[in-house]
Amino acid sequence: MSEIPSATKAATPEEILSAALKKVAAKDVVMACSFSVEDLVVIDYLRKLAPQISIFAIDTGRLHEETYAVAEALLQKYQLHIDWYLPQTLSLQQLERAKGLFSMRESLANRHECCHIRKVEPLNRALVGKAGWITGQRRAQSTTRNALQGIETDAAHGGILKINPLIDWSDEEVWSYARAQRLPVNRLHSQGYPSIGCAPCTRAIKAGEAPRAGRWWWENPEHKECGLHR
């Protein structure tokens, strides 16, 4: 699904959001926030262009303290409400009792299981009854995302729209905007963490490494997705 009539030029966030909101009502769209710098940029756009769009976040139980600090700073800056979704307690208890706290590092199947319990299942609940959801994904982030479109049909969630306003933005554009708007970015970004997920599954990257090299660093690059963006 094309985000704008012409596919020969990069689409702006305004164009992508405008095109999406012609297809679905803003009240039926939600923004998924992981508190990355990209998500902060998208939220700033939404406060100006479509403040009625609600925002949700997934608390996996393993987030960095710095990530929670960003959430609190957002509340202060925009006076917004965040709908939090947590893993199902019983599923999490069964996983940790059976496999311990770091089973995700033992195999790809184990890591997918942990991500499903902590992220995917809560996401499924967050999207029930919605017509579309917004992310901060960009093509430049990794090899697993270079085929993304600004507006996609999300077959995994019943064919709702998946909207990626920053799809064509570079790292430089993201950070220039964040600095100009004085967004409360995660302190870990300045410590070598361009991509931040759960604490046990994220490390700072080394010089010359790809931006998402610090995510599930023990896995091959083509596996570096958690299941939220299938």
E strand or H helix at 58: strand 54-58
198 part of the active site: no
Cα-only R_g, the chain: 17
Q: How far is CA 180 from CA 19, 44, 74, in A?
A: 26, 11, 16
Written as six digits, the tokens of 34 are 């992981």
Q: Give the rounded distance of the alpha carbon of 144 from its chain centre.
A: 14
Q: Which of 39, 17, 226 is nearest to 123 (CA)?
A: 226
Tell me the β-bridge partners of 83: 56
The 3-class secondary structure across 162-199, one letter per residue, is: EECCCCCCCHHHHHHHHHHCCCCCCHHHHHCCCCCCEH
Give the largest CA-CA distance in the chain: 53
Residue 124 and residue 227: Cα distance in Å, rounded? 11
Q: Please answer whether residues 162 and 24 qualify as being in contact, where contact means their C-beta atoms are separated by less than 8 angstroms.
A: no
The set of catalytic residues is 226
